[in-house]
Each structure stands twice: as C-alpha cells, then as structure tokens.
Amino acid sequence: MADNIYPLTVIADRYTGTYSGGEYLAFNLNFDEIPSDVTGDDVACSNFFYSTDLVYGKGKTIDEAVKDLARRI
C-alpha cells in the first residue's frame, strides 16, 4: 500500500461532506494537482463529485480518508 499511495494530499472538505460524502478527502495527487472544483462554489463542487471518475478517499477523520483511498487504489 505505502508504495502506491504517494503522492498523498489530505484536505478538509469545504462543505463537510455534503457533496463528497466525507469530512476529509485524500487524493493520490500533489496539492496543486487537485481539481479546483473540489473547493469551488456549490455548483462546481457538486458537479465535480457527482460526475468525477477521479479516485479519492473520504472519511470522518484524516486516517479514515487515507485508509479509504488506499482501499480504492
């Protein structure tokens, strides 16, 4: 797991999971590679999470989000 999860960026969800389903989000990307819609306005953010095929982890805690990402990868 450790070899394929990096790079790893974890952020707090702007809308506390309303669209993403998690309070924290983990991405197998560098920070500057995370799509801006993830933290965009309501419309951009909801459209992103309802239509993305980008693999990301989500959870109520940072640890849960990282473990979810590892499972999804």
* 57, burial (CB in 10 Å: exposed 0-12, middle 13-18, buried 19+): buried
**pTM score of the predicted model:** 0.92
What is the domain range of residue 30? 2-72
**Residues 27-65 pLDDT 10s:** 999 999 999 999 999 999 999 999 999 999 999 999 999
Of the candidates 72, 52, 57, the residue with the CA atom closest to the CA atom of residue 24: 57
Supply the pLDDT for residue 4: 78
38, 48 contact by CB (below 8 A): yes
Task: Kindly write down the DSSP assignment for every residue of 20-58, as one continuous string.
Answer: TS-SEEEESS-GGGS-GGGGS-HHHHHHHHHH----EEE
How many domains does one find in the chain? 1
